[in-house]
Amino acid sequence: MRHPAPPAATGAYEDDLALLVTGRPRPGRWIAVLAAAFAAVWLAWTVIVNPNLHWDIVAKYQFDGVILEGLWVTVQLTLISQVVGIVIGVVVAVMQLSDSPVLRTTAGAYTWFFRGTPLLVQLIFWFNLALLFPEISIGIPFDGPKLVSWQSNTLITGFVAALLGLSINEGAYMSEIVRAGIQSVDPGQREAGASLGMSNLRILTRVVLPQAMRVIIPPFGNQFISMLKTTSLVSVIAGADLMTVSQHLYLANFEVIALLIVASIWYLVLTTIASIAQHAVERRFNPAAAPPPLYRRVLGNLRPGRGPKKPAAAKQAARQPEKSVEKSTKSAKSAKGETR
C-alpha cells in the first residue's frame, strides 16, 4: 500500500511479455484457407463460364429504370414498415409490462395473432380487405351516421396493403425484442428515477429505454436485414417492389435466372449497407461488446497464437494509468494519516 508500483511499469511489462511469448504456428488454418479458396474459385468458375447464364442480360438490366424504381419501392417499404414496426413494438412492449391486465391481455393477443399467422396470409388478407369491408368509414359505430367513407378498393392499393401487412407483423416481433430489452435493465434504475420524482413515462424514455438499446440493437439489426428481403413477399399482391418488377420482366422475356441475379445483387447491396450500419450503431451503444471489424477478425484468426484484439481490453488498458495515479495519491494520503 505504501509503495505503489510506478504507473509507467505496467506498459513496459506488457511489452516484455510480447517479446517473450510467441504463439504456435497454425498450419491447419492455412490448409483450410487454401482448400476453401480452391472450392470458391471452382464454384465461381462453373457459374461464370456457364453459357446458360446470360451475363449480358444481367448487365443490361442491373441499372434498368424499371428495376431501379422497384428498388426504390423496396427501400421505402422497408424503412416505413420498420419505423412503424418500432413504434408499435415499443407501445406493445410497454403494454405487456404494464400493471393493467387489460393492456397486458390486449398486447398478448396482438403478438399471439400476428406472430402466429404467416406474413404471406396477412399480406393477401390486407390486399383483399374489400371482400370483408367494401367500405371504410369514420362515424358512429353499429351502423350509425358516417362522417367520411372510402371505397376499400381505392384506399387499399398494393403499396398500402404491403405497408399494413409488413408493419403490423413487424410490430409483433419488435414488441418481443423491446420487451426483452426493457426487462434487461436493472429494476433499481426505475426506483432511482422514481425516488427523484420522475413519472413512469420519463423513467421509460430517459432511464430505461436508453439502457435497453444495448440489448435491443443487435436483434433489431437482424430484423431490419430480414425486412429488406421479406419485402419480396409483396410480389404476390402487386407491391411493385424490386422482386415484383423483376418477375414482370422475366415473365415477358423468360430471362428468369438473369433477372433473379439482378435482384439478388441489389438485395446483397442493401443488406451489406445495412450490416455496416448495424455494426457502427452497435459500437456506438456498446463499444465493448460489438464485434471487431471483419479484416481484424480475419487477420486475428490467421496470425499465430493470438485471437483478435478486443476493443474492450484496449479501452481498459487506456484507463489503467489514470486509475493507478488515483490509487497512488490515495495511498499517499493514508500514509500521511498514519504518520500523523
**C-alpha to C-alpha distance for 60 and 231, rounded to whole angstroms:** 24
Beta bridge partners of 146: 139
Q: Give me 288's grid cell.
A: 465493448
Q: Are the C-beta atoms of 134 and 151 separated by less than 8 Å?
A: yes
Backbone angles phi, psi at 291, to 5 degrees: -65, 145
Between 199 and 264, name the residue whose CB sits nearer to another protein. Answer: 199
Between 100 and 199, name the residue whose CB sits nearer to another protein. Answer: 199
Residues whose CB is less than 8 angstroms from the CB of residue 128 and which lie 6 or more positions away in sequence, other chains included: none
Between 140 and 196, name the residue whose CB sits nearer to another protein. Answer: 196
Report the nearest approach of another protein to the CB of residue 280 (Å).
Answer: 18
Between 14 and 186, name the residue whose CB sits nearer to another protein. Answer: 186
**C-alpha to C-alpha distance for 53 and 31, rounded to whole angstroms:** 32
Report the nearest approach of another protein to the CB of residue 326 (Å).
Answer: 8
**C-alpha to C-alpha distance for 89 and 169, rounded to whole angstroms:** 10
Report the nearest approach of another protein to the CB of residue 25 (Å).
Answer: 38
The binding site for another protein (CB under 8 A) comprises 186, 188-189, 191-192, 194-200, 202, 206-207, 210-211, 319
Report the nearest approach of another protein to the CB of residue 188 (Å).
Answer: 4
Report the nearest approach of another protein to the CB of residue 208 (Å).
Answer: 10
Between 115 and 202, name the residue whose CB sits nearer to another protein. Answer: 202
Report the nearest approach of another protein to the CB of residue 99 (Å).
Answer: 11
Between 195 and 339, name the residue whose CB sits nearer to another protein. Answer: 195
Q: Are the C-beta atoms of 246 and 74 separated by less than 8 Å?
A: no
**C-alpha to C-alpha distance for 236 and 3, rounded to whole angstroms:** 76
Q: Which helix (H) or strand (E) holds 149?
A: strand 146-151
